[in-house]
Amino acid sequence: MANPTPQPIEVYTSLPRERDAIGEITRRAGVFNAEEVTTVFELFDDYLRSPGSGYNFFSAKVDGRLAGFACWGLTPLTEGTYDLYWICTDPEQQNRGVGKALFQSVETAIRERNGRMMVIWTSSTAEYHPAVNFYERMGCSQAACLRDFYKPGDDLLIYQKDISKNR
């Protein structure tokens, strides 16, 4: 049987009422511990309180339901370097282009601000292998590896994308 027609993906600036749904998607992703889920709530609250907090959130909706989100912002003390702090797709919606739509929207927003570089921190452990594959598909390359950064056997991988290209 042919695949059903893919649903359009809508990406927009996250709405205050999406706080709980964003927390729920983070929890359901299955890779983040309780402290990390709490951190997403804290960043979202900073984002709601002050637009200049340095944390921006984008949501992606499919068929009227929240399917994923991204959190990104200008890296403090840099000129034109932006961090992609979080990107997460609801497990039920993965591998359907939601992460790509979010990533590309963040990239466009960075370009619009004359940003030069996107930086992403991730972990070397197996549960982050899908994320690493995803970043590589999105044109990011590994810039650094700090052995045992998070804990013994869990390295920090820093990925980077040159945003100044293809302006």
| CA dist 59 → 22, 56, 101, 149 (Å) | 8, 10, 10, 30
Backbone angles phi, psi at 116, to 5 degrees: -110, -30
87 near ligand COA, judged by CB under 6 A: yes
Reading the block at residue 102, the tokens are 């979010």
Q: Which DSSP symbol is given to 76? A: T
Q: Is 124 in the site for ligand COA (CB under 6 A)?
A: no
Residues in 10-39 that interact with ligand COA by CB under 6 A: 29, 31
By CB under 6 A, which span of 47-55, 83-91, 104-112, 158-166 interacts with ligand COA?
83-91
CB 59 within 8 Å of CB 44:
no
CA dist list (Å): 28 to 23, 67, 86, 114, 128: 9, 12, 14, 34, 15
| Shortest spacing between CB 163 and ligand COA, in angstroms | 18
Q: Is 122 in the site for ligand COA (CB under 6 A)?
A: yes
The single residue among 28, 65, 113, 137 that binds ligand COA, judged by CB under 6 A, is 137
Q: Which of 128, 149, 158, 160 binds ligand COA (CB under 6 A)?
A: 128
Q: CB count, 10 Å around CB of 29?
A: 19
* 88: contact with ligand COA by CB under 6 A: yes
From the list 46-54, 95-103, 145-153, 158-166, the region that binds ligand COA by CB under 6 A is: 95-103
Please tell me whether residue 111 binds ligand COA under the rule CB under 6 A.
Answer: no
d(CA 16, CA 7): 24
Contact 18, 66 (CB under 8 A): yes
Cα distance between residue 67 and residue 152, in whole Å:
34
Q: Which stretch binds ligand COA (CB under 6 A): 41-49, 74-82, 85-93, 142-150?
A: 85-93
Min CB(45)–ligand COA separation in Å? 18
Query: Which positions lie near ligand COA, rule CB under 6 A?
Result: 29, 31, 86-89, 94-100, 122, 128, 130-131, 133-134, 137
